[in-house]
Structure 1
Amino acid sequence: MIYPLQNCLRSTWFLFKPSILCSRFRAYSGFSTLALPVESSRFTGSGELIGRCDIDTIVSKVHAGSSDDEILQSLMNDRECNSIQLSHDLIEKLLHRFKDDWKSALGAFKWAASRPGYNHSRQAYDMMVDILGRMKQMDRMKDFLEEMHQGHLVTFNTIAKVMRRFAGAGKWENAVKIFDELETFGLEKNTESMNLLLDTLCKEKYVEEARDIFLLLKSHIAPDAYTFNIFIHGWCKINRVEEAQWTIQEMRGHSCQPCVISYSTIIQFFCCRNNFQKVYELLDAMTAQGCAPNVVTFTTVMGSLSKAERFEEALQLPLRMKTAGCRPDTLFYNCLLHTMGRAGRVKDAINVFELEMPKVGVAPNTSTYNCMVAMLCHHAQQQKALSLLQDMENLKICKPEVQTYYPLLKSCLKTGKIDSLLSKLLNDMVNKHHLSLNISAYSLLIHGLCRANRCEWAYNLFEEMISKDITPYHRTCRLLLDEVKAKNLYDAAEKIEGFMKKL
């Protein structure tokens, strides 16, 4: 028999209150346009237009700041909302839309639950629990969990979310209480559930508390290798690497062999502190003990060496990796290309990208192209970067994103190719690839266009940002304001000044 942990640990436990809920809900991914001197369109980030009208209708009826009961009544009394056909997909998208607004989420959830013939999915219940916990509505989250318990809807996934939200809110004792009550939810206390609790506590830096709990449980629940890897990560997270190294020895005492994850976690700790002597010692120890480093280990080390500007050491790793019989993957090559770019080895990078990667059968992804485009633009090889973008579009291995275009936009502004190339690139982004600019890209364009004496276009982009609820940086507003005033664009200046007063 496993005795309740609260009998052994210092803590003040909560008691569940009677349920006050009856529930359900939805979510959506926003749309965006781009102010251009060319035709533009509106798309989601993924290019999908799913349930937009229905979601927008519901969202338009919800007033931010209202109580969940006020929102419930508003939606229940709205004929247009009640004519919408509900689906689990629609409700879950709506919940995602309100992930940072628990009142709207809960009100809409209750409204959906009140609709005849509609029953929420377990996914929607779990999402609602997570929203309440993330917004620190812990009492409501407990009430909601009790409601789910009464309806036999609690799953291991539900418990995982509740534990993590309690621990994240600094209430680690309540996370332990949930573990103690697992059997009342029809769930088992076993290695998997114990690991969930320990992992939850360690990720929130309650490693000592997790260790005390483990010592109480290990005679009843057998640990596995993952249990010890949780502690290795936890000790490293709170800068106690000696305990992490000792844990590797403890693993062997429980007949669990340290794996590549065990060592790689400690290697990452030393990488973050630029202690590469320890890193190399651990790499040698892994090989000596028959636990060869994997591609993730080598990628971590290379990235850290590159960050520390120890480029020659970093560029020796592919040979060491080959000697160890470890096959590179796309992420490794992305790191290698980035390192070569920082080291100024552009020709070598092109050779790796064009010859070595195809030879070993490793396909590039969007990040690979982003790295190459940025490198070529940085070294004033704009035409080569444009050719690479064209190859990316033709091969259709992966799709460009805003970050792919960012260096090219910057290069256009720097070289003055605004009316020709810049317009084409922006048009391709919006109309060919259905991309929406982020705040970094907008800021780059507005600043660049102002420097190029094109403040009218810059102001159009400023208005576009505002319409999409993207708040410009203060320095962007200041620069644009000075430029439009210099051009005697008084209406634009007045609007910019009015917006700045609201910041």
Structure 2
Amino acid sequence: MSRLIQNRIGNTLLRLKPQPSILIKNLSTSPEPSLDDESSQSSHIWNVIIARAGGDSEDEVFHRLSNDPLCNRVTLSDTLLNKLLHRFRDDWRSALGVLKWAESRKAHKNHSPEAYDTAVDILGKAKKWDRMKDFVEKMKVDNTVTLNTVAKIMRRFAGAGEWEEAVNVFDRLNEFGLEKNTESMNLLLDTLCKEKRVERARSVLLELKAHIKPDAHTFNIFINGWCKTNRVEEALWTVQEMRGYGFRPCVISYTTIIKCYCLQCDFIKVYEMLSEMEANDSPPNSVTYTTIMSCLNSQKEFEESLRVAARMKRSGIEGDTLFNNCLIHTLARAGRVEEAERVFRDEMPSVNTSTYNSMIAMYCHHDEEEKAVELLREMESLKVCEPDVHTFHPLLRSCFKRGDVVEVGRLLKEMVTKHHLSLDESTYTFLIQRFCRADMCEWAYCLFEEMISQDIAPRHRTCLLLLDEVKKKSMHEAVERIEHVMRTVKLTAPVK
């Protein structure tokens, strides 16, 4: 089994006894690509770099890459470097090792700002605060700290509950050669509001507004913040305050409040707000209608959702890709397969991964897996957009439904080796649950171990399900391990 697959699926699979031999064969058989064409060469080089970029420390990663002749013959462009950093966005050691290797290359001394910002974000995501601060200080010396860098730092601090640290970064803007102005103030306010610290953001605004003037975006930030905390009355009060400063509420302001009403299932207020928008010469747009349709879909009110779509079309508004994706999903869930196909083939101004995902899910739901696979191959051949993990979920679900474990293995291998996709929390959870239901808890447990090794916290109910299954199989070591994880790891809260 290649190192790439070990990182993705888990090298514990190879040590599992008894081993599901058919699935092992599908996952572990990964022939070396032919180097007869440029695409194969690129794929081969990518796999080699990924394989060398694994290690227990950034220095180990650096030495692996530096000592590999093939890696050092690679033309290290900004695009490739950014792609590598994105690939290791959940592995800060490998990411820093790759960046250090890139810095050692004579032809690539100066990276793009995006690469440095990505590295800062990766460290913040891993809560390696000291390393992140050291890295930023190095950037400060090189004069490469941008407002985007600051935004990533503040958001990672705020996301971890380190509110004061986020505010301190704003206070230090002058040290980085950046200005405290409306734009930078809005970044701080937006960071706090997105983390539901709206009162703290309000106190910051009251302190700063004597020196920095708010703009319309400032008030939209607060409207969004109040709505995120389900305090729509404060959002409406902010609309009045906005008018007091001479700014007219725009479609963004109204749409944000409409979304809040939707989440409260108060659709009477939603339709009242639509009428108010039209009366105040701020007519709803495609995003407004898509927001309402999405919320109706979540309530399984598909026919009402289609009536909203019809209302939008009567108003003469052209649907964008996001709206049409939502419309396809609605038609599919309403059982109108032919209409969904017509929208997909004839009415879409452009398509993206979400478009294909909706169509693939629709075909799988209606047991037309051949058509779903055809669309996957179409994505690959047209190269307009790339599959993501959610592209494969309906296909995997269909395989489990008909008990085709061989096809599950083939699809997993394709995700990992062909499309270089990382398994996320939802995919791990889905696979663990399905393997348990298929009476293959040995595989479920291996994926659980791999999930933990990737620092992805399992859901509480996933642990309970797996624990029950391994107890039935008298897998005593697994029982102890799962119980230990449930005691010591901060699990994702159970879904109510």
Q: TM-score, with normalisation over the residues of structure 1?
A: 0.69
Alpha carbons 2:399, 2:407 under 8 Å: kept: no
Contact 1:366 1:401 (C-alpha < 8 Å) held by counterparts: yes
On the 8 A contact 2:328/2:343 being kept in 1, the answer is no
Q: Distance in 2 between matches of 1:430 and 1:101?
A: 21
Residue number in structure 2 paired with 1:205: 196
Instruction: Determine if contact 2:361/2:372 at 8 Å carries over to the other structure.
Output: no
**Higher mean C-alpha displacement, 177-186 vs 255-264:** 177-186
Inter-CA distance 212–287: structure 2 relative to 1 (3 Å threshold) = same
5+ unaligned residues in a row in structure 2: which ranges?
Answer: 11-22, 34-41, 483-496
Q: 2: distance between equivalents of 1:257 and 1:224?
A: 11
Check conservation: 2:363, 2:371, Cα contact below 8 A.
no
Counterpart in the other structure of 2:486: none
Does the residue aligned with 1:59 lie in a helix, a strand or coil?
A: coil
| Change in CA separation of 1:309 and 1:94 when aligned onto 2, cut-off 3 Å | closer
Contact persistence 2:470–2:479 (CA under 8 A):
no
1:57 aligns with: 52
Listed one character per residue, the Cα deviations across residues 244-276 of structure 1 (whole Å, up to 9, x for unaligned) are: 112222323333222111111111111111111
Q: 2:374 is matched with which residue?
A: 390
The match for 2:494 is: none
Look up the match of 1:41: 30
Greater fraction helix:
2
Determine the C-alpha separation between the residues in 2 that align with 1:299 and 1:136: 35
Q: Tell me the equivalent position of 2:38.
A: none
Find the counterpart in structure 2 of residue 292 from structure 1.
Answer: 283
- Find the partner of 2:109 among 108, 112, 119: 119
* Equivalence for 2:124: 133
Which amino acid in the other structure matches residue 54 of structure 2? V
Q: Structure 1 stretches of 5 or more lacking a match?
A: 1-27, 64-70, 486-492
- Which of residues 192, 196, 209 is equivalent to 1:218? 209
User: Equivalent of 1:354, from 335, 341, 352?
Assistant: 341
1:326 aligns with 2:321: no
Q: Which has the higher contact order (CA 8 A, sep 6+)?
A: 1
Partner of 2:231: 240
Counterpart CA distance in 1 for 2:164 and 2:27 is 58
- Matching of residue 439 in structure 1 with residue 428 in structure 2: yes
Distance 1:308 1:43, change over 3 A: farther
- The range that moved more, 366-375 or 430-439, is 430-439
How far apart are 1:133 and its partner, in Å? Answer: 3.4
Q: Which amino acid aligns with 1:41?
A: S
Q: Are the equivalent residues in 2 in contact too, given 1:35–1:464 (CA < 8 A)?
A: no
Which amino acid in 2 is paired with 1:53? V
Structure 1, residues 84-140: CA drift from partner, whole Å, max 9, x if none?
639475765665566556567667766876788863524444334334433444455
TM-score by length of structure 2 reads 0.70
1:141-160 to structure 2, matched below 5 A, reads 141-160=132-151
- Measured after TM superposition, the shift of residue 213 of structure 1 is 3.0
Q: How does 1:450-489 map to 2 (within 5 A)?
A: 450=439, 465=447, 475=465, 479=469
Question: Does residue 1:190 correspond to 2:181, yes or no?
Answer: yes
User: By how many angstroms is 1:371 displaced?
Assistant: 3.5
RMSD: 4.6
Relative to structure 1, is the Cα distance of residues 165 and 462 closer, same or farther in structure 2, using a 3 angstrom cutoff? closer
- The residue identity in structure 2 corresponding to 1:205 is K
**Contact 2:9-2:450 within 8 A present in 1 as well:** yes
* Structure 1 Cα separation of the partners of residues 93 and 338 of structure 2: 55
Separation (CA, whole Å) in 2 of partners of 1:197 and 1:310? 38
Equivalent AA in structure 1 for residue 109 of structure 2: N
Assess, with a 3 A threshold, how the Cα gap between structure 1 residues 502 and 172 changes in structure 2: closer, same or farther: closer
Aligned to 2:222: 231
The letter of the residue matching 1:181 is R
- Partner of 1:35, secondary structure, is helix
What amino acid sits opposite 2:248 in the alignment?
A: Q
Residue 36 of structure 2 corresponds to which residue in structure 1?
A: none
Moved more, 328-337 or 149-158: 328-337
- The structure with the largest alpha-carbon Rg is 1
What does residue 275 of structure 1 align with? 266
- Residue by residue over 1:371-394, the C-alpha shift from the partner in whole angstroms, topping out at 9 and shown as x without a partner, is 44544554xx42x44235435635
Residue 200 of structure 1 and its aligned partner are, at CA, apart by: 1.8
Between the aligned partners of 1:161 and 1:112, the Cα distance in structure 2 is 22
Give the deviation of 1:158 after TM superposition. Answer: 1.9
The Cα shift of 1:201 comes to 2.2
Q: Is the 8 A contact 1:100 1:131 kept in 2?
A: yes
Superposed CA offset, 1:145-188 (max 9, x none): 33332332222222222322333344434433433332332222
By how many angstroms is 1:53 displaced?
3.0
> In structure 1, which of residues 161, 172, 175 is the aligned counterpart of residue 166 of structure 2?
175
Taking a change above 3 Å as real, the CA distance of residues 206 and 394 of structure 1, as seen in their structure-2 partners, is closer
1:25-104 correspondence to structure 2 within 5 Å: 35-36=24-25, 40-41=29-30, 48-60=43-55, 62-63=56-57, 72=59, 81=67, 85=72, 87=76, 99=89
Conservation of the 8 A alpha-carbon contact between 1:58 and 1:81: no
Residues 407 and 427 (structure 1), Cα distance of their counterparts in 2 relative to 1, 3 Å cut? same
Distance across 2 between alignment mates of 1:355 and 1:477: 46
Inter-CA distance 193–446: structure 2 relative to 1 (3 Å threshold): closer
Greater mean alpha carbon deviation, residues 101-110 or residues 169-178: 101-110
CA distance in 2, matches of 1:125, 1:363: 32
Which residue is equivalent to 2:242?
251
- The one-letter code sitting in structure 2 at the alignment partner of 1:212 is S
d(CA) in 1 for partners of 2:309, 2:61 = 60
For the Cα contact (< 8 Å) 2:226–2:232, is it kept in 1?
A: yes
What is the alpha-carbon distance in structure 2 between the residues aligned to residue 106 and residue 387 of structure 1?
42
- String of CA shifts for 1:270-310, please: whole Å, max 9, x gaps: 11111111111111101111111111111111121222233
The one of 302, 307, 310 aligned to 2:301: 310
Comparing 126-135 and 198-207, the one that deviates more: 126-135
How many matched pairs?
438
Deviations 1:325-383 (A, max 9, x none): 222234323333434454xx31xx223223345443445554444444544554xx42x
Identity %: 43
